[in-house]
Structure 1
């Protein structure tokens, strides 16, 4: 059996990735930042084929522990960067674990034999740190794909800046090491939505859906979304997991970075759909998914289905 190591494999996206690999008869090693917090991974131990699952504590800033986690894996998935919108200290909570953690990971995979494939879960922020606002020179209705110039700004949210810089580290590593014995691919999802597998109440992704459903604005960033009725590109969390699995098990994708996106709706229409109502406007395709469709055979589910899956969830963040 092949072994996959999934950094962040108990999180919102990572849980579905973990399930995908277990369902396909892989040995799966998952990291948790705090092994004493059983609520972070309890939902994984009840999955089918959980006998093939191993959960261990990991801090990506600890080289020795990270080296031990990477050892003996055929495939490695890195989705362990923090997604925090309401932060206290950007340097320690976002920039350091995201960028330094990526640098540590890249250094170690270069030294570790036996690795066949590495997948990074990047973000649309790796292409445009202004998301969901348009990149410089574009309007809300202009399309964006992998051939467009990547855009970053020091005015963007620190989470987005950190993801952009981490992606630059990956691209530099690929360029500086043209004769790697393994392949590296990345996926860059837009706003990932859908139903969480766990009962945790501290998920930023599910929390954002809760806020939009109930028109709650805890900060200026969220309030600006409502005030400007911002168009939001959405992708289903299960589609992200499937794209990761396909990228990880398909050869010949080295150096590619796939935008993962379904439809774009204004915040007002997302609010309606989260409340089981019909949107007032038709969906648009702003962030294009042609490359993922062609290379990975992806067929992204409609945003309405994704939002209904969340709104049918009985457990809501407090």
Structure 2
């Protein structure tokens, strides 16, 4: 039985990733930032094969604890960066844990004796910090693929900038270390939607669906999405977990970063679908998913199915 360490394995995407690896018969170690807040990870013990689950405390800024956490893992998934839209201090809340955490993680994996595969759960922001708005000079319906030049703007949301810089850190590491005893693969999901496995109320992804469903705008960023009726590319959270598993267990993918996307709809249509009404527009595929379908064998769920599942 191989061991997988999942940093951030109790979050929205992380819980589905933990579920997938447990179902596939892995010994799963999950890190949480605060072991005292059991309400944030207790739901994982309701999963199939949870006898093979171990929870431990970890902050990615602490290098020694990080080294210890991954020391007996053949696979390591890094999905432990914060996803916050309401931010008071971007440096301490986003940039430090995201970028410094990534740097620490890259240092730690070099000293881990058993690692075979590493997967970073990045973000579409690694390719376009303006998401869900178009990158640079592109128009709203222009397509974007892994072959496009990544776009970053310092006017983008700090979360997106932090994810972009973290991905640049990973790419630089791969370039500077042409011979490694393990493979590194990244996945970059667009807007991740679906039903949470927990009752946590601090998930940005599920919170965004709640806002769209009820047409609430608590901050300028969400208000902008309504004002522009932004074309929102979405992907099912279970599909993201499936892609992470495939990336971690398929050899020959070193250095690749896969866009994970199903369809795109205007935000107004997402509000309709979250209320079990039919969209007024046809779906489009703005963020191309061909590479993930070909290399990882992915089949992405339709967005309408995903949004209906959220509000069952």
TM-score normalised over the length of structure 2: 0.99
In 2, distance between residues paired with 1:107 and 1:42? 30
User: What residue number does 2:307 align with?
Assistant: 307
Deviations 1:240-290 (A, max 9, x none): 000000010000000000000000000000000000000001000100000
Deviation for aligned residue 1:63: 1.0
TM-score normalised over the length of structure 1: 0.98
User: What residue number does 1:285 align with?
Assistant: 285
User: What residue number does 1:213 align with?
Assistant: 213
Residue 45 of structure 1 aligns to a residue in which SS? Answer: helix
In 2, distance between residues paired with 1:301 and 1:48? 23
Instruction: Please say if 1:14 is aligned against 2:11.
Output: no
The residue correspondences of 1:1-318 to structure 2 (distance < 5 A) are 1-312=1-312
List gaps (5 residues or longer) in structure 1: 313-318
CA contact (8 A) 2:265 2:284 kept: yes
List gaps (5 residues or longer) in structure 2: none
CA contact (8 A) 2:78 2:120 kept: yes
CA contact (8 A) 2:140 2:231 kept: yes
Deviations 1:131-188 (A, max 9, x none): 0010002000100000000000100000000000000000000000000000000000
In 2, distance between residues paired with 1:123 and 1:53? 26
Deviation for aligned residue 1:85: 0.3
In 2, distance between residues paired with 1:310 and 1:142? 28
In 1, distance between residues paired with 2:14 and 2:267? 26
In 1, distance between residues paired with 2:110 and 2:174? 11
In 2, distance between residues paired with 1:236 and 1:46? 21
In 2, distance between residues paired with 1:154 and 1:226? 22
Segments ≥4 residues shifted beyond 3 Å: none
Deviation for aligned residue 1:11: 0.2
In 2, distance between residues paired with 1:176 and 1:281? 46
Deviations 1:34-71 (A, max 9, x none): 11111110110111111100000100001111111111
More displaced 10-residue stretch of structure 1: 236-245 or 60-69: 60-69
CA contact (8 A) 2:122 2:163 kept: yes
Deviation for aligned residue 1:112: 1.5
In 1, distance between residues paired with 2:256 and 2:280? 36
In 2, distance between residues paired with 1:168 and 1:104? 14
In 2, distance between residues paired with 1:123 and 1:74? 24
In 2, distance between residues paired with 1:124 and 1:178? 25
In 2, distance between residues paired with 1:296 and 1:117? 15
In 2, distance between residues paired with 1:308 and 1:265? 14
Deviation for aligned residue 1:111: 1.6
CA contact (8 A) 2:16 2:237 kept: yes
